[in-house]
Amino acid sequence: MAERLRAGRCALLWRHAQTTQGVGDPPGFRLDQCSTQRNLSEAGRTQARAAGEWLRARGLAPGAVRSSAWCRCKDTADLAFGAHSLWAPLNSTFGSTEISANNRQLLLDGLARIPAGTFEVWVTHQVNITAFTGESVAMGDAVVVDRAAKVVARGGFGG
C-alpha cells in the first residue's frame, strides 16, 4: 500500500476507525452533536493514531485529508493527521446501496485533480466505499484507488 501511495495520483479511502458497538447511528442523531452519534471506541482512537504513525514512519504525508461530517470520521482524521477538511461526497449513505450520480462524479473529479507524487486521504464509511469501489473493508482499514476509481491496493496499518 505504501508504494502505491508514494506514486501518487490516488486516494486512500479509509473507513473510520473502530467504533462502539452498533450499526449506523441512533434514531434522531445530529451531525452537530457527537454525543448523539456512534463514536470511536478507545481501541478506535488508538487505531487512528497508529495509522497516522504508520504513514509517517514510511515518509508518507497526504496532500489533503478530507472527511465525512460524522464525528467518527472527523475524529479518525484528526487523531491520525491533526486536521481535516469536510467534504460532503464522503458523508454516509447508510440505508442505501448506492451513491448518487452527482456524488460519484464529485469523487471522480476529486481523484482527477490529485497530481503525481501526491495522494489524498478520504475518511468515510463502509457503505460509501462499497458503493464507489465494490470493496468491503473492516473498520480502520482502507483501499487505495487510482484516478479511474480502480482499487490498486488495500489493507490496514498494523505492522
For residue 55, tell me if it sits in a domain: yes
Over residues 81-98, mean pLDDT: 84
pLDDT of residue 29: 86
Distances in Å between the Cα of 51 and the Cα atoms of 121, 139, 143, 145 are 11, 12, 13, 18
pLDDT surpassing 80 at residue 94: no
Contacts of 101 (CB under 8 A, 6+ apart): none
Which of 15-29, 94-108, 144-158 is the least confident region? Answer: 94-108
| Residues 8-46 as b or e (16 or more Cβ within 10 Å = b) | ebbbbbbbbbbbeeeeebeeeeebeebeebbbbbeebbe
Higher pLDDT, 20 or 123: 123
The amino acid present at 48, given as its one-letter code, is A
The torsion angle over the Cα atoms of residues 74, 75, 81 and 82, rounded to 10 degrees, is 100
Total number of domains constituting the chain: 1
For residue 33, tell me if it sits in a domain: no
Quote the percentage of the chain above a pLDDT of 70: 96
For residue 96, tell me if it sits in a domain: yes
Please tell me the distance from the alpha carbon of residue 116 to that of residue 10, in angstroms, as a whole number. 8
pLDDT surpassing 70 at residue 83: yes
Over residues 65-74, mean pLDDT: 97
For residue 123, tell me if it sits in a domain: yes
Q: Which three cell numbers stand for residue 30?
A: 445530529
Highest mean pLDDT among 63-72, 97-106, 127-136: 63-72
User: How many other CB atoms are there within 10 angstroms of residue 119's CB atom?
Assistant: 23
Please tell me the distance from the alpha carbon of residue 51 to that of residue 17, in angstroms, as a whole number. 9
For residue 73, tell me if it sits in a domain: yes
For residue 114, tell me if it sits in a domain: yes
Q: Which three cell numbers stand for residue 59?
A: 515518509
| Residue 82 domain boundaries | 2-16+39-155
pTM for this one? 0.93
Please tell me the distance from the alpha carbon of residue 46 to that of residue 122, in angstroms, as a whole number. 19
| Average pLDDT value for the chain | 92
List the CATH number of the domain containing 110: 3.40.50.1240
Please tell me the distance from the alpha carbon of residue 41 to that of residue 37, in angstroms, as a whole number. 12
Grade residue 27 by pLDDT with cuts at 50, 70 and 90: confident
For residue 28, tell me if it sits in a domain: no
Please tell me the distance from the alpha carbon of residue 92 to that of residue 97, in angstroms, as a whole number. 11
For residue 21, tell me if it sits in a domain: no
Higher pLDDT, 123 or 131: 123
